[in-house]
Amino acid sequence: MKILLATQKPFAAAAVEGISGILTEAGHEVVKLEKYAAQEDLVAAVGDVDAIIIRSDKVTSEVIAAAPKLKIVVRAGAGFDNVDLAAASERRIVVMNTPGQNSNAVAELALALMIFMARTQFTPATGSEVQGKRLGVQAYGNVGRLVGEKARALGMEVCAFDPFLSDEQIIAGKATPVHSLEELYSASDYLSIHIPALPSTIKSIGYDLISKMPKGACLVNTARKEVIDEDGLAKALRERADLKYVADVAPDNYDALREEFGLRVFATPKKMGAQTSEANINAGLAAARQIVDFFATGNTKFQVNKW
């Protein structure tokens, strides 16, 4: 089979080598499209491929239409909001992710961003410490749990809200369960967001929730920019000079926010949560193995679309 590795944001060299090794050893041919400039480049590259490995690359209905032999897309990572699942399902193309494989990298970044904001973006201004502060985790999945674990090691108190988990499961993950978003936001000096971007979550975090946060609180978003209602965020920051926002990947209104709120706001220039060589290797190799297994045995364990 012909497998395309399409990564606008390339994997570390060791990951690319590992992916190629696993696929070629299983008898597949590997082609690469890395650091490509435009979406048309991806459309042009899929004409004769049977499988694609991607990161945040956009597998749109146009990409799928241009790939008549395509059987499987593996998103090397967690979020699959960049894949048109309906278009894939219509063609019976399997879409998978590699859950958990890059979670530690994202969790470490979430903690780093908290400390960066606590220390006023590493300027000489007097900062604060995260020890003794209350961390709220919104969605206690693979990343959320790791954020909780690391925060506890720093002496933070951790509470979590996750409508898909029981109190027992959250307690087993060593966090205090809370039962509504309102309660979570009201209780959290730091609030770390780990929800996926879905129609039900897009723009779901806005003024009403953010303005409930305690004095001096910081909202930390290493999930997706789309889950924030950016007008609501700006309104809350404007009304409350004590609130802060930090994100992995800039909101659309980032320049305006920086101009108006200065060091109370920060966003990474390019999404970098999963950009460690370890995460690249874990997620990339898992993707390659899932493809080998899919073609050899039909295993669809990590399939995320249905038909």
Question: Where on the chain is the footprint of ligand 3PG (CB under 6 A)?
Answer: 9, 55-56, 77-79, 102, 271, 273-275
d(CA 56, CA 78): 10
Exposure on the CB side of residue 173, measured as CA atoms within 13 A: 27
Nearer to ligand 3PG (CB atom), residue 96 or residue 243: 96
Which residue's CB is nearer to ligand 3PG, number 254 or number 261? 254
Please, which residue, 107 or 158, has the CB nearer to ligand 3PG? 107
CA distances to 18, 142, 270, 295 from 245, rounded to whole Å, are 37, 23, 16, 44
Alpha-carbon distances of 101 from 58, 76, 146, 175, 235, rounded to whole Å: 20, 8, 12, 22, 36
DSSP 157: E
What's the min distance (Å) between Cβ of 78 and ligand 3PG?
4
Residue 267 CB, nearest approach to ligand 3PG (Å): 14
Provide, rounded to whole angstroms, the least separation between the CB of residue 82 and ligand 3PG: 8
Q: Which is nearer to ligand 3PG, 26 or 272 (CB)?
A: 272
Q: How far is the CB of 211 from ligand 3PG (least distance, A)?
A: 27
Minimum distance from residue 103 beta carbon to ligand 3PG (Å)? 8
In the complex, what is the shortest distance from the CB of residue 281 to ligand 3PG, in angstroms, rounded to a whole number?
A: 13
Query: Is the alpha carbon torsion for 89, 274, 27, 45 positive or negative?
Result: positive
Neighbours of 303 (CB within 10 A): 15
Facing residues of 177 across strands?
A: 160
Closer Cβ to ligand 3PG, 137 or 213, answer by number: 137
For residue 11, the minimal CB distance to ligand 3PG (Å) is 9
Q: How far apart are CA 134 and CA 161, in angstroms?
A: 13
Tell me the residue nearest to ligand 3PG as measured from the CB.
Answer: 77
State which residue, 275 or 305, has the beta carbon closest to ligand 3PG. Answer: 275
Q: What angle do CA 251, 248, 122 make, to 5 degrees?
A: 105
Q: Which is nearer to ligand 3PG, 77 or 251 (CB)?
A: 77
Q: Which residue has the tokens 């930390």?
A: 220
Asked whether 62 and 266 are in contact (CB, 8 A), the reply is no
Q: Which helix (H) or strand (E) holds 221?
A: strand 218-221
